[in-house]
């Protein structure tokens, strides 16, 4: 196997398909996991996909990447924490692996508060507005950067 990618998802992404389908589409969280797995398999890579509504848990997973050195890159949809969490931005530099930020919607075409990201300055790239297909693009690019 090649690269090993950790895909992290923040709050409310477990509600995909239920929460605002006009914004996020009607795909489920299981569909996101499937997109990530297919993208990784196409590149002979491994992927692990996780979601949490608890910021402390998310930070712990990022810290584990630094301690355990099991993953070669992180793909992250921080959801609302994108716009609020300095702690998340600080944590993402600890593992010293490439980080790809992904968003299902085009956050720049939405409310003004969504235009700022604390994650973008520490990310190798940002993919936004392509629905859940963006996860496939992000995993593919993460493999390239690993």
Q: What CA–CA distances, in Å, run from 74 to 69, 78, 90, 92, 117?
A: 12, 11, 14, 9, 17
**Which pLDDT belongs to residue 105?**
81
Q: How does pLDDT run across 22-76, given as a tens digit for each residue?
A: 656 578 889 999 999 999 999 999 999 999 999 999 999 999 999 999 999 999 9
Q: Which residues are annotated as a binding site?
A: 77, 83, 90, 104-105, 114
The C-alpha R_g of the chain, in whole angstroms, comes to 14
Report phi then psi at 110, rounded to 5: -115, -160
Domains of the chain: 4-145 (3.40.50.9100)
pLDDT at 80: 87
pLDDT of 75-84, one tens digit each? 999 988 997 8
Cα separation, 126 vs 89, in Å, equals: 14
Q: Which residues are annotated as a binding site for substrate?
A: 77, 83, 90, 104-105, 114
Whether 116 is catalytic is: no
Q: Residue 20 above 80 pLDDT?
A: no
State the average pLDDT for the chain.
90
Given 63, 103, 108, 135, the catalytic residue = 103
Share of the chain above pLDDT 70, in %: 90
Q: Is 24 among the residues known to form the active site?
A: yes
Identified catalytic residue from 24, 108, 115, 116: 24
């Amino acid at each position: 196997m090649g690269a090993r990618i950790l895909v992290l998802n923040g709050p409310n992404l477990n509600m995909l398909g239920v929460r605002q389908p006009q914004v996020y589409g009607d795909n489920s969280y299981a569909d996101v996991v499937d997109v990530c797995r297919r993208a990784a398999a196409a590149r002979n890579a491994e992927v692990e996909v996780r979601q949490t509504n608890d910021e402390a848990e998310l930070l712990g997973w990022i810290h584990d990447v630094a301690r355990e050195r099991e993953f070669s890159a992180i793909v992250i949809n921080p959801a609302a924490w994108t716009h609020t969490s300095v702690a998340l931005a600080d944590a993402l530099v600890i593992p010293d692996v490439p980080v790809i930020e992904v968003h299902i919607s085009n956050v720049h075409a939405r409310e003004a508060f969504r235009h700022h990201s604390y994650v973008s300055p520490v990310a190798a790239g940002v993919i936004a507005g392509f629905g859940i297909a963006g996860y496939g693009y992000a995993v593919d690019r993460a493999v390239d950067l690993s």
